Chain A
Amino acid sequence: MHGTKILEEADRLMTVCNSCRYCEGLCAVFPAMEMRRAFSDGDLNYLANLCHACGACYTDCQFSPPHEFNVNVPRTLAVARAESYAAYAWPRAFAGTFARNGLVISLVAALSVAVFIFGFAALHDREVLFGIHTGPGAFYKLMPHNAMAALFGAAFLYAIMALAMGVRAFWRDIGEPIGMKTDARALLQAIRDAGELRYLDGGGVGCFNEDDRPTDRRRLYHHLTFYGFALCFASTCVATLYHYLLAREAPYAWWDLPVVLGTLGGTGLLIGPIGLLAERWKRDSILVDEARYGMDVAFIAMLFLTSLTGMALLILRETAAMGPLLALHLGVVFSLFVTMPYGKFVHGIYRFAALVRYARERKAMAQGTTLE
Chain B
Amino acid sequence: MADLNQKFDVLVIGGGNAALCAAISARRAGASVLVLEGAPKFYRGGNTRHTRNMRCAHDAATDILTGPYTEEEFWDDLLRLTGGQTDEELAKFMIRESKDILNWIVEQGVRWQPSLGGTLSLGRTNSFFLGGGRAMLNALYLTAEKLGVEIVYDAEVIDLEIEHGMFLSARLKQPIDGTSEIRASALVAAAGGFEANIEWLKEYWGEAANNFLIRGTPYNRGSILKMLLDKGVQDIGDPTQCHAVAIDARAPKFDGGIITRHDSVVFGIVVNKHAQRFYDEGEDIWPKRYAIWGRLVAAQPDQIAYIIFDNSVRNSFMPTLFPPIEGGSIAELAAKLELDPASLEKTIAEFNAAVKPGTFDHTILDDCRTEGITPPKTHWARRIETPPYLAYPVRPGITFTYLGTRVNRQARMVMKDGKPSANMFAAGEIMAGNVLGKGYAAGIGMTIGSVFGRVAGREAAKNARN
List of B residues within 8 angstroms of A204 by Cβ: 111, 130
Give complex CA distance A25, B112 in Å: 9
A21 and B118 contacting across the interface, CB-CB below 8 Å = yes
Whether A19 and B259, one on each chain, are in contact in the complex, defined by CB atoms closer than 8 angstroms, is: yes
- Contacts A15-B321, A19-B259, A34-B117; A62 near B111 (Cβ below 8 A): no
B130 close to A203 (CB less than 8 A):
yes
A36 to B, closest residue via Cβ: B319
Known pairs A21-B116, A62-B50; A16 contacts B321 (CB<8 A): yes
Assembly CA distance A108 to B394 (angstroms): 59
A37 to B117, CA, bound (A): 13
Q: Would A62 and B315 count as touching, CB distance under 8 A?
A: no
What CA separation (Å) do A20 and B52 show in the bound complex? 10
Segment 22-67 of A: residues with Cβ below 8 Å from B: 22-26, 31, 34, 37, 56-57, 59-63, 66-67
Contacts of A23 in B (CB 8 A): 131-132
A10 to chain B, nearest CB (A): 15
Is the pair A22, B132 in contact by a Cβ cutoff of 8 Å?
yes
CA of A22 to CA of B129 in the docked complex: distance in angstroms?
8
The digit string for B47-86, where 1 denotes a CB below 8 A from any CB of A, is 0011010000000000000000000000000000000000
Q: Give complex CA distance A149, B436 in Å.
A: 78
Contacts of A278 in B (CB 8 A): none
**Complex: A19 Cα to B260 Cα, angstroms:** 8
Q: Is A68 an interface residue (CB 8 A)?
A: yes
Q: Chain A nearest CB: distance from B122 CB in Å? A: 13
Q: Chain B: interface residue count, which band?
A: 20 to 34
Q: What is the predominant secondary structure among interface residues of chain A facing chain B?
A: loop
On whether A25 and B252 interact (CB within 8 A), knowing A19-B320, A62-B257, the answer reads: no
| A66 cross-chain contacts in B, Cβ below 8 A | 42
B144 to chain A, nearest CB (A): 13
Q: What's the minimum C-beta distance from A130 to chain B, rounded to whole angstroms?
A: 58
Bound: A342/B44 CA distance, A: 44
Closest chain-B Cβ to A259's Cβ sits at a distance in Å of 45
The answer to whether A101 has its CB under 8 Å from any CB of chain B is: no
Query: Are B111 and A205 interface neighbours, CB within 8 A?
Result: yes
B216 to chain A: closest residue by CB: A62
B315 — which chain A residues lie within 8 A by C-beta? 37
A18 within 8 A of B: yes
Across the interface, which residues of B come within 8 angstroms of A19, CB to CB?
259, 318-321
Does B133 touch A at the CB level, under 8 Å?
A: yes
Residues of B103-121 contacting chain A, CB below 8 A: 111, 113-114, 116-118
B43 to chain A, nearest CB (A): 8
Partner of B134, one of A21, A26, A60: A60
> Are B258 and A20 neighbours in the complex by a CB distance under 8 Å?
yes
Total contacting residues, chain A, CB less than 8 A: 29
A212 adjacent to chain B (CB < 8 Å): yes
Q: Which residue of A lies closest to B256 (CB)?
A: A69
The smallest C-beta distance from B289 to any residue of chain A, in angstroms, reads 20
Q: Are B42 and A67 neighbours in the complex by a CB distance under 8 Å?
A: yes
Contact of B410 with A by CB under 8 A: no
Interface: B329 (CB within 8 A): no
Q: Please give me the residue from chain B that is nearest to A203 by CB atom.
A: B130
Chain B residues lying within 8 Å of A60, measured Cβ to Cβ, are 131-132, 134-135, 138
How far, in whole Å, are A25 and B128 apart by their CA atoms in the complex?
10
Please state if A22 and B118 are interface contacts (CB–CB under 8 Å): no
Distance between Cα atoms of A59 and B52 in the complex (Å): 15
B255 within 8 A of A: yes
Give 8 closest A-B pairs by Cβ, nearest first.
A22-B132, A60-B131, A25-B113, A60-B135, A19-B259, A19-B321, A62-B49, A25-B130
A residues sitting closer than 8 Å to B (CB atoms) are 15-16, 18-26, 31, 34, 37, 56-57, 59-63, 66-68, 203-205, 212-213
A-B contact pairs, 11 of them (CB 8 A): A22-B131, A22-B132, A23-B131, A24-B116, A57-B131, A62-B50, A62-B132, A62-B134, A62-B255, A203-B131, A212-B142
